């Protein structure tokens, strides 16, 4: 403990640390000093000496309990620490990371030509052996959880304000959709990311967040909004002339008319600050996981029922826009970041697939698009002045002059993602390969592309020694992130516990006050008990029952007197019940007259000596004559009491 205080720049040997010696950044010591009431030297010195041996957490906890502003500062400090460590990790690991996932082997198939290690994949085929080093390789038995565990940190960095792009790439049928979407039992990256983002937001008190979502499909250079319902030509034919329907269907199937087919009305805008916007794309704000899941299901449904039926040739994109506002916390402005989750179209080699016609166009479009993507990433990263969107387009235009669609696609996909691929953004590409012998050639192609993308970031080829040191540093930083997160959790728990404790204490105090002799509490029950209606009921009932203003209500003393009076009244009643059977009305009349006469002579007497008069009125509102009146007589006139007693005895003896 003392060492930690030392490391923060406090001279403890003399015990004369002053406020000016406190570190500028909020820290444990800063918190401690807030616990010391006057920040005085002596107080600080004694606090420090009393703290020796106590745990640092309990110390912070006490600070949390004592002062709210430093707590918020402390939370922000911890959050900043965590973010800094996470940024460093991602920088060391590389802001372009390439993973490989090998599809689960079909049991009927022969031995796979692929062997995997943690960051290496080897393909043996036709007497050749090719080795590819990537950031992470997932073997065929890897689960969706394994994959998501590696993706999670990058999501956190999106919440911290970085643009993020996660792309699934690979041959058709190798599991791109399985990784990105998954199925009900095994959800993929997109549904998990949605859940994780909302979870992280709920935990983060350093800022307020707003999330919005869009989904679109890119096919042959057209963009389709997946949140907008479109009629299929098949449905259109119900209400238009047959010749016109035939024309539409012809247009739908003709490769040159792809834009007409999809009815794309979305255009990409590049704003001066470098951000990219899609004009006309639906962007829905989502406030909770359920709502986000519903919209995601809607987008998936729109794609699966796509009348173009081009799922394996189209790229599906989900965009999550995050607005982070620190205004409520420290007055800083909004920070907007984007997460692109992209399920790219299949990347088959055209020769192998033997595609013709439209399929050939699609294949060319996809391959060219992907190679353009790698070039664009490279250009953005090396901060080349000229980003080769147009250059690529020219090359493509020359090579495939007849395929205007290729040009369109290249520009669209790369332009769409350009602000999330450049410097400052985090890119994660998951290359999918098949474990089958037949697909070995395709696998080598995909892995070569992956290596090319990975090489965009310089210094990827490191010596073993450097790699080891890097891994060690990453492990340290990861430990730092875990500790910061753990501390954040602990501080939040402590805050909750403290708030609960305060509430309990307040309740107890109020209950005590309610029971106190001179101050019957009739405060607003909700205000009193924090909405706890069970405990709030009592004061309400009491308030309703009180016939007099609050300040006039009875004290404990008067209540005690009332109780005694009630008891003696009870006794008197029982006696009078016995008497009632024997006493004649005339006797009552006589005694009444005499009482009145007595009162006239000395009115104070009956009131003064008989508290029952008061209690009779207040306790027994029915005014039972038989209980109180004989009592009055007995108290006010001893002679009369004797006469009555004798009379009573005579009557009783008559009865016997």
Ligand X SMILES: Nc1ncnc2c1ncn2[C@@H]1O[C@H](COP(=O)(O)OP(=O)(O)OP(=O)(O)O)[C@@H](O)[C@H]1O
Name which of residues 102 to 121 contact ligand X (CB under 6 A).
103-104
Q: Is 16 known as a binding-site position?
A: no
- 172 binds ligand X per the rule CB under 6 A: yes
**Shortest distance in whole angstroms from residue 310 CB to ligand X:** 10
> Which residue from 174, 315, 410, 420 is in contact with ligand X, where contact means CB under 6 A?
174
**Shortest distance in whole angstroms from residue 104 CB to ligand X:** 4
Residue 372 burial class via C-beta count within 10 angstroms: exposed 0-12, middle 13-18, buried 19 and up: buried
Cα–Cα distance list, 487 to 34, 79, 149 (Å):
19, 10, 21
- 60 binds ligand X per the rule CB under 6 A: no
Indicate the residue among 312 and 620 with the shorter CB distance to ligand X.
312
**Shortest distance in whole angstroms from residue 170 CB to ligand X:** 6
Q: For 187, which DSSP code? A: B
Q: Is 631 known as a binding-site position?
A: no
Indicate the residue among 178 and 454 with the shorter CB distance to ligand X.
178
> Which residue from 82, 136, 162, 176 is in contact with ligand X, where contact means CB under 6 A?
176
Name the residue among 415, 163, 419 with its Cα closest to residue 267.
415
**Shortest distance in whole angstroms from residue 174 CB to ligand X:** 5
Indicate the residue among 107 and 461 with the shorter CB distance to ligand X.
107
The Cα 7–Cα 67 span in angstroms is 24
The piece of 157-165, 168-176, 376-384, 624-632 that touches ligand X (CB under 6 A) is 168-176
SS3 620: coil
Q: If you search the block for the tokens 């602000």, which residue do you land on?
A: 419
- 306 binds ligand X per the rule CB under 6 A: no
Indicate the residue among 177 and 318 with the shorter CB distance to ligand X.
177
- 346 binds ligand X per the rule CB under 6 A: yes
Q: Centre a 10 Å sphere on the Cβ of residue 117 and count the other Cβ atoms it contains.
A: 11
> Which residue from 153, 173, 441, 480 is in contact with ligand X, where contact means CB under 6 A?
173
The Cα 436–Cα 581 span in angstroms is 112
Structural element, H or E, at residue 285:
strand 284-286
Query: Are the beta carbons of 386 and 125 closer than 8 angstroms?
Result: no
Name which of residues 178 to 207 contact ligand X (CB under 6 A).
178
- Our CA dihedral for 435, 436, 439, 441, rounded to 10 degrees, sits at 70
- 630 binds ligand X per the rule CB under 6 A: no
The Cα 607–Cα 594 span in angstroms is 16
- Two tokens, residue 391: 């250059």
The Cα 545–Cα 537 span in angstroms is 12
SS3 24: coil
- 446 binds ligand X per the rule CB under 6 A: no
Q: Is 177 known as a binding-site position?
A: yes
Which stretches does DSSP call E strand in 489-603? none
Q: Centre a 10 Å sphere on the Cβ of residue 635 and count the other Cβ atoms it contains.
A: 15
Indicate the residue among 34 and 446 with the shorter CB distance to ligand X.
446
- 163 binds ligand X per the rule CB under 6 A: no
Indicate the residue among 323 and 371 with the shorter CB distance to ligand X.
371
Instruction: Specify the long-range contacts of residues 18-27, CB closer than 8 Å, at least 24 apart.
Output: 18/44, 25/77, 26/70, 26/73, 26/74, 26/76, 26/77, 27/77
> Which residue from 27, 62, 163, 177 is in contact with ligand X, where contact means CB under 6 A?
177
The piece of 167-175, 204-212, 300-308, 539-547 that touches ligand X (CB under 6 A) is 167-175
Name the residue among 103, 90, 92, 93 with its Cα closest to residue 430.
103
Name which of residues 401 to 440 contact ligand X (CB under 6 A).
432
Cα–Cα distance list, 497 to 190, 429, 489, 502, 638 (Å):
35, 43, 12, 9, 68
Structural element, H or E, at residue 231:
none
User: Cα(first)–Cα(last) distance of the chain, in Å?
Assistant: 94
**Shortest distance in whole angstroms from residue 343 CB to ligand X:** 6
Number of residues that bind ligand X (CB under 6 A): 14
The piece of 174-182, 454-462, 540-548, 607-615 that touches ligand X (CB under 6 A) is 174-182
- 583 binds ligand X per the rule CB under 6 A: no
In the bound state, the residue with its beta carbon closest to ligand X is: 175
**Shortest distance in whole angstroms from residue 178 CB to ligand X:** 4
Indicate the residue among 118 and 556 with the shorter CB distance to ligand X.
118
Q: Is 176 known as a binding-site position?
A: yes
Q: x/- site string to ligand X, residues 66 to 105, per CB under 6 A? A: -------------------------------------xx-
Which H, E and C letters describe 508-523, residue by residue?
Answer: HHHHHHHHCCCCCCCC
The piece of 5-13, 165-173, 350-358, 373-381 that touches ligand X (CB under 6 A) is 165-173
Rg (CA), the chain: 42
SS3 140: coil
Q: Is 581 known as a binding-site position?
A: no
Q: Is 173 known as a binding-site position?
A: yes
Q: Is 170 known as a binding-site position?
A: yes
**Shortest distance in whole angstroms from residue 177 CB to ligand X:** 3
Name the residue among 147, 53, 44, 60 with its Cα closest to residue 104.
147
**Shortest distance in whole angstroms from residue 347 CB to ligand X:** 8
The Cα 502–Cα 130 span in angstroms is 66
**Shortest distance in whole angstroms from residue 442 CB to ligand X:** 12
Q: Is 116 known as a binding-site position?
A: no
The piece of 25-33, 169-177, 494-502, 578-586 that touches ligand X (CB under 6 A) is 169-177
121 has which bridge partners? 116, 132
For 124, residues 6+ apart whose C-beta sits below 8 A from its C-beta are: 113, 114, 115, 130
> Which residue from 26, 175, 299, 436 is in contact with ligand X, where contact means CB under 6 A?
175
> Which residue from 21, 84, 195, 312 is in contact with ligand X, where contact means CB under 6 A?
312
Q: Which residues are annotated as a binding site?
A: 170-177
Which residues lie near ligand X (CB under 6 A)? 103-104, 170, 172-178, 311-312, 346, 432
Binding residues for ATP: 170-177
């Amino acid at each position: 403990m003392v060492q930690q205080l030392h490391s923060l720049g406090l001279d403890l040997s003399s015990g004369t640390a002053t406020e000016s010696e406190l570190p500028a950044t909020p820290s444990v010591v800063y918190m401690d000093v807030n616990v010391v009431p006057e920040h005085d030297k002596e107080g600080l010195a004694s606090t420090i000496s009393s703290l020796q041996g106590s745990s640092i957490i309990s110390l912070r906890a006490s600070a949390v309990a004592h002062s709210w502003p430093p707590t918020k500062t402390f939370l922000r400090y911890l959050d900043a620490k965590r973010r800094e460590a996470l940024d460093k990790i991602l920088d060391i690991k590389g802001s372009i990371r390439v993973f490989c996932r090998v599809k689960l082997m079909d049991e009927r198939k022969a031995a796979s030509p692929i062997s995997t290690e943690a960051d290496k994949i080897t393909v043996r085929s036709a007497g050749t052996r090719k080795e590819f080093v990537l950031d992470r390789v997932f073997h065929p038995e890897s689960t969706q959880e394994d994959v998501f565990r590696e993706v999670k940190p990058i999501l956190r960095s999106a919440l911290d304000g970085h643009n993020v792009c996660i792309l699934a790439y690979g041959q058709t049928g190798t599991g791109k959709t399985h990784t990105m979407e998954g199925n009900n039992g095994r959800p993929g990256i997109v549904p998990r990311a949605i859940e994780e983002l909302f979870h992280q937001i709920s935990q983060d008190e350093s800022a307020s967040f707003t999330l919005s979502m869009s989904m679109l499909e890119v096919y042959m250079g057209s963009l389709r909004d997946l949140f907008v319902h479109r009629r299929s030509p098949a449905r259109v034919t119900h209400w238009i002339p047959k010749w016109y329907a035939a024309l539409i269907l012809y247009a739908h199937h003709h490769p040159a008319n792809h834009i007409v087919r999809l009815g794309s009305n979305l255009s990409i805008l590049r704003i001066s600050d470098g951000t990219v916007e899609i004009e006309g794309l639906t962007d829905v704000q989502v406030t909770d996981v359920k709502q986000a899941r519903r919209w995601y299901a809607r987008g998936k449904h729109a794609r699966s029922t796509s009348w173009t039926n081009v799922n394996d040739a189209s790229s599906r994109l989900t965009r999550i826009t995050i607005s982070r506002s620190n205004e409520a916390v420290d007055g800083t402005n909004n920070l907007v970041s984007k997460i692109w989750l992209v399920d790219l179209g299949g990347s088959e080699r055209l020769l192998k697939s033997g595609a013709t016609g439209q399929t050939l166009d699609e294949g060319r479009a996809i391959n060219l698009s992907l190679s353009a993507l790698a070039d664009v990433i490279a250009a953005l990263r090396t901060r080349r002045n000229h980003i080769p969107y147009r250059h690529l387009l020219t090359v493509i235009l020359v090579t495939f002059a007849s395929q205007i669609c290729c040009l369109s696609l290249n520009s669209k996909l790369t332009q769409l993602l350009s602000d999330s691929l450049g410097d400052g953004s985090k890119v994660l590409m998951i290359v999918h390969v098949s474990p089958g012998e037949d697909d070995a050639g395709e696998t080598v192609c995909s892995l070569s592309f992956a290596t090319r993308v990975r090489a965009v970031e310089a210094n990827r080829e490191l010596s073993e020694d450097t790699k080891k040191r890097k891994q060690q540093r990453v492990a340290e930083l990861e430990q730092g992130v875990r500790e910061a997160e753990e501390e954040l959790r602990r501080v939040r728990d402590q805050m909750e516990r403290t708030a609960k404790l305060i509430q309990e204490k307040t309740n107890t105090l109020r209950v005590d006050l309610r029971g106190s002799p001179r101050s019957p509490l009739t405060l607003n029950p909700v205000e009193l008990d924090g909405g706890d209606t069970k405990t709030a009921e009592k004061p309400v009932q009491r308030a309703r029952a009180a016939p007099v203003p609050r300040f006039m209500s009875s004290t404990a003393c008067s209540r005690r007197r009332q109780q005694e009076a009630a008891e003696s009244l009870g006794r008197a009643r029982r006696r009078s019940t016995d008497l009632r059977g024997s006493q004649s009305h005339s006797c009552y009349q006589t005694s009444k007259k005499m009482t009145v006469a007595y009162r006239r002579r000395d009115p104070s007497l009956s009131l003064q000596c008989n508290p029952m008069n008061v209690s009779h009125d207040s306790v027994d509102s029915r005014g039972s004559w038989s209980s109180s009146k004989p009592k009055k007589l007995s108290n006010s006139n001893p002679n009369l009491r004797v006469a009555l007693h004798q009379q009573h005895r005579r009557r009783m003896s008559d009865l016997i």
